[in-house]
Amino acid sequence: MSDSEVNGGLVSETLPIPEIPKCLQIRTVMKSLTSYTEAQQFDNYRVAAHTCVWAPQEGASNFGQLRAAIMMHLRFDGTFGFAGGLIDAGEDVVAGVNREMAEEIGWSPTANPVTWSDYYNTHVDHNRQLVLHFFIKQLTLEQFVALERGALLASEYGNEVLGSVRVPLYTMENMYNGLPAFLNNKFVGTAKQQLLLTLHHLHLLTEEEISDVIYKSQNLKLGPNRF
């Protein structure tokens, strides 16, 4: 595959739209999903980029199978999201997302940068005139734990970011607590859809498991045994 320069960096000419499981082929996901190349036509839109940082984690806890450690954070507005933010005018997308991650979670772009090989997808929000690029970055579990600890020292901790969390990827015995309950939090923008797409892309949950989790999240939240 040939490469071409985009915003000062090497980017594949064809960054394909990823496979979307049937249970997530809903209007809010499919309508805004576009290829990286197609998104370039909206040159008057603001650009943002975010990254799902994750690490494989085998074994089980007292509450369920661990599968992986996935980092999200509680934002200043009370919603959950991924590290990242707006790209400055004229700034390379990859450079911008690394800068935002350094500010928000103490990320070290020089030690282990997010690159175009970590790119996953792009959404376009026409109402807000915003292009949203999403990356998925794998770490070792040791690197992940070190990042969690160092995030407390990030320049935006306590301001834009109010704390990092690991996403519970299990469902507990009452069929609601764990991931189904977590999905009933408020998420910013496309963060909830990106989380579920990431779980499918990384083969952490099967399409059937994702569909089951969505069902339980929507239908069991008022059950008498949810606590």
Query: Which CATH number characterizes residue 143's domain?
Result: 3.90.79.10
Contacts of 216 (CB under 8 A, 6+ apart): 171, 175, 176, 180
Q: Domain for residue 22, yes or no?
A: no
Residue 5's pLDDT is 43
What was the pLDDT predicted at 11? 55
Read off the amino acid at residue 155. Answer: S
The overall average pLDDT reported for the chain is: 89
Q: Is the pLDDT of residue 26 over 80?
A: no
Q: Is position 161 within any domain?
A: yes
pLDDT of 23 over the 70 cut: yes
Mean pLDDT across 66-94? 96
Within 8 A by CB and 6+ apart from 191, the residues are 50, 72, 79, 80, 81, 82
Query: 155 in a domain, yes or no?
Result: yes
138-194: pLDDT as tens digits: 999 999 999 999 999 999 999 999 999 999 999 999 999 999 999 999 999 999 999
Domain-embedded: residue 87: yes
Q: How many domains does the chain have?
A: 1
Q: Is residue 223 part of a domain?
A: no
Residue 28 has pLDDT above 70, yes or no: no
Q: Considering the domain boundaries, does residue 91 fall inside one?
A: yes
Range of the domain at 87: 3-13+32-168
- Provide φ and ψ at 94, rounded to 5°: -65, -40
Is residue 20 included in any domain, yes or no? no
Secondary structure class of 28 (helix, strand, coil): helix
* Contacting residues for 22 by C-beta, under 8 A, at least 6 apart: 207, 211
pTM for this structure?
0.90
